[in-house]
């Protein structure tokens, strides 16, 4: 109990000696080689307060270290330096009359303070907390449905992201490390956490399934949580005997797991599309479109691409739609949700050679409209939810750049979707039933689904 309290207090109180010592250092620098008179009277008091603060921080830190949850060398270095700093403050206080010694001691104190603080930061935030590259940016393997290994390519990256900050050689909460297969199998202070082949009886899954408010829930409340897809994948791995070396193919994932694996590979390495630079669109054309109720947004301040939203213009005529054509290369996102003019629209859309995102949900699109879209060489996302598109129509869609297709509420037969997965080995098909991840390539708010 007391360790828990100190564990929370220590990271707070350490800022106190840091603040006081920095203030003292500023005063020292301000007065130069010799203390000025007013600083000379103030300094001993500051040093006394700094000593009290250092002592308090050292004691809370020492008790925290007794809990043994932290990596040894890092903790020990941090601790010895912290105690060293306290002694330096004592030294500064008692050598106050020796100007030359004071200067040497202040420089040493500044150095020790910096290193102690840095090590402390490494303990709480992880060793790379100063690095500007986000951890997520560091290579994540792309999932290859034939050769990727379930544990190392799917499960380990999930644990790495959501668990290892507290369960590694640096920090071993619950005496548990989750940073290697052998450690995971070995378990924690209460023994094994995984019962191979039986996720329901595995301690790890029990903790994950507990309500977030429960103290034993993992990851603890307030920390980044596992999403449903990640939980399903871990369950799938454990139920398939939690093996270290088995490949995805050897476990032949069913239609419930396959889309999750594909989704994972998409989320972890979103493809960056490099669009060519393009000149400004004709403002007169844009003005005219706006008069018909068409919403036109520029994608960003730096380039001239546009997104178009037709949602609020039910009564457009063919000639009004044709006025989109002068902008055909500018349009990278088109939202035609609920559009009932698909016969007229598709020939126009198929000329939008830079189009990456296309919403046709709730529209009157049918199977015959899909093949004309195959000329769109940059299309990554298409929403066909709540349309009459069937498996036969989907089969005609042959767009290499395609990454995601939403099919929820369409006439797609989910049971025979697995054939279609073979046609779209790298496409994330969403037919409903689980949380839809936010589309990475969704460039503007204008085309987000809730608008």
Q: Which is nearer to ligand HEC, 35 or 151 (CB)?
A: 151
Q: Which is nearer to ligand HEC, 204 or 394 (CB)?
A: 204
* 264 lines the binding site for ligand HEC (CB under 6 A): no
Residue nearest to ligand HEC (CB): 188
Measured from the CB of residue 314, what is the shortest distance to ligand HEC in angstroms? 47
* HEC per residue, the chain: CHHHHHHHHHHHHCHHHHHHHHHHHHHHHHHCCCCCHHHHHHHHHHHHHHHHHHHHHHHHHHHHHHCCCECHHHHHHHHHHHHHHHHHHHHHHHCCCCHHHHHHHHHHHHHHHHHHHHHHHHHHHCCCCCCCCCHHHCCCCCCCCCCCEHHHHHHHHHHHHHCCCCECCCEEHHHCCCCCHHHHHHCECCECCCCCCCHHHCHHHHHHHCCCCCCCCCCCCCCCCCCHHHHHHHHHHHHCCCCCCCECHHHCCCCCCHHHHHHHHHHHCCCCCCCCCCCCCCHHHHHHHHHCCCEEEECCCCCCCEEEECCCCCCCCHHHHHCCHHHCCCEEEEECCCCCCHHHHHHHHCCCCCCCEEECCCCCCCHHHCHHHHHCCCCCEEECCCCCCCHHHHHCCCCCCCCEEECCCCCCCHHHHHHHHHHCCCCEEECCCCCCCCCCCCCCHHHCCCC
Distance (Å, whole) CA 29 – CA 329: 62
Q: Which is nearer to ligand HEC, 197 or 432 (CB)?
A: 197
268 contact partners, CB below 8 Å, separation of at least 6: 140, 141, 142, 143, 157
Interface with ligand HEC (CB under 6 A), residue from 84, 220, 255, 293: 220
Q: Which is nearer to ligand HEC, 179 or 243 (CB)?
A: 179
**Site stretch for ligand HEC (CB under 6 A), options 220-228, 238-246, 278-286, 340-348:** 220-228
Interface with ligand HEC (CB under 6 A), residue from 84, 141, 174, 326: 174
- Between the alpha carbon of residue 47 and those of residues 18, 20, 60, 91, 122, the distances in Å are 12, 8, 20, 10, 27
Measured from the CB of residue 71, what is the shortest distance to ligand HEC in angstroms? 14
Measured from the CB of residue 427, what is the shortest distance to ligand HEC in angstroms? 29
Window 130-169: contact mask with ligand HEC (x via CB under 6 A): --------------------------------xx-xxx--
Length of the chain: 451
Q: Which is nearer to ligand HEC, 80 or 129 (CB)?
A: 129
* Cβ(145)–Cβ(425) below 8 Å: yes
Measured from the CB of residue 171, what is the shortest distance to ligand HEC in angstroms? 7
Q: Which is nearer to ligand HEC, 220 or 437 (CB)?
A: 220
Measured from the CB of residue 226, what is the shortest distance to ligand HEC in angstroms? 5
Measured from the CB of residue 174, what is the shortest distance to ligand HEC in angstroms? 3
* 177 lines the binding site for ligand HEC (CB under 6 A): no
Residues 183-212 that bind ligand HEC (CB under 6 A): 187-190, 193, 203-204, 207-208
**Site stretch for ligand HEC (CB under 6 A), options 118-126, 172-180, 270-278, 287-295:** 172-180
Distance (Å, whole) CA 387 – CA 340: 11
Residues 222-241 that bind ligand HEC (CB under 6 A): 223, 226
Q: Which is nearer to ligand HEC, 174 or 255 (CB)?
A: 174
Q: Which is nearer to ligand HEC, 100 or 134 (CB)?
A: 134
Q: Which is nearer to ligand HEC, 193 or 281 (CB)?
A: 193
* 173 lines the binding site for ligand HEC (CB under 6 A): yes
Binding-residue total with ligand HEC (CB under 6 A): 23
**Site stretch for ligand HEC (CB under 6 A), options 6-14, 120-128, 170-178, 277-285:** 170-178
Measured from the CB of residue 166, what is the shortest distance to ligand HEC in angstroms? 3
**Site stretch for ligand HEC (CB under 6 A), options 104-112, 149-157, 182-190, 350-358:** 182-190
Residues 64-83 that bind ligand HEC (CB under 6 A): none
Distance (Å, whole) CA 1 – CA 413: 56
Site residues (vs ligand HEC, CB under 6 A)? 162-163, 165-167, 173-174, 176, 187-190, 193, 203-204, 207-208, 216, 218-220, 223, 226
């Amino acid at each position: 109990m007391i360790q828990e309290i100190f564990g929370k207090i220590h990271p707070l109180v350490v800022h106190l000696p840091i603040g006081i010592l920095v203030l003292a250092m500023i005063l020292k620098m301000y007065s130069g080689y010799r203390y000025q008179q007013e600083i000379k009277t103030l300094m001993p008091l500051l040093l006394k307060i700094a000593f009290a603060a250092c002592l308090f921080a050292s004691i809370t830190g020492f008790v925290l270290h007794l809990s043994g949850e932290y990596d040894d060398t890092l903790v020990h270095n941090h601790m010895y330096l912290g105690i060293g700093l306290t002694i330096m403050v004592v030294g500064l206080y008692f050598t106050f009359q020796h100007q030359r010694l004071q200067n040497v001691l202040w420089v040493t104190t500044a150095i020790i303070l910096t290193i102690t603080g840095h090590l402390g930061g490494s303990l709480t935030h992880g060793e790379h907390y100063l690095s500007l590259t986000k951890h997520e940016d560091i290579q994540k393997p792309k999932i290859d449905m034939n050769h990727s290994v379930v544990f190392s390519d799917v499960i380990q990256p999930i644990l790495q992201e959501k668990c290892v900050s507290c369960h590694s050689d640096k920090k071993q909460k619950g005496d548990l490390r989750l940073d290697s297969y052998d450690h995971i199998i070995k378990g924690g202070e209460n023994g094994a956490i995984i019962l191979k082949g039986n996720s329901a009886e595995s301690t790890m899954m029990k903790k994950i399934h507990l309500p977030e408010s429960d103290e034993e829930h993992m990851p603890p409340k307030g920390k980044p949580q596992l999403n449903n897809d990640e939980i399903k994948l871990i369950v799938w791995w454990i139920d398939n005997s939690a093996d270290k070396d088995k490949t995805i193919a050897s476990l032949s994932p069913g239609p419930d797991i396959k889309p999750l694996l594909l989704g994972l590979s998409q989320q972890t390495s979103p493809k960056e599309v490099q669009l060519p630079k393009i000149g400004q669109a004709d403002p007169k054309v844009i003005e005219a479109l706006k008069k018909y109720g068409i919403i036109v947004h520029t994608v960003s301040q730096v380039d001239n691409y546009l997104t178009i939203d037709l949602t609020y213009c039910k009564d457009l005529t063919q000639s009004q739609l044709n006025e989109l054509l002068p902008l055909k290369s500018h349009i990278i996102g088109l939202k035609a949700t609920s559009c009932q003019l698909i016969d007229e629209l598709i020939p126009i859309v198929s000329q939008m050679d830079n189009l990456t995102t296309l919403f046709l949900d709730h529209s009157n699109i049918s199977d015959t409209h899909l093949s004309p879209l195959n000329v769109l060489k940059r299309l990554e996302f298409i929403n066909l939810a709540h349309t009459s598109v069937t498996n036969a129509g989907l089969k005609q869609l042959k767009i290499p750049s395609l990454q995601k297709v939403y099919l929820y509420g369409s006439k797609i037969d989910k049971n025979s979707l697995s054939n279609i997965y073979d046609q779209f080995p790298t496409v994330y098909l969403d037919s409903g039933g689980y949380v839809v991840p936010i589309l990475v390539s969704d460039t503007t708010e204008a085309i987000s689904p809730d608008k």
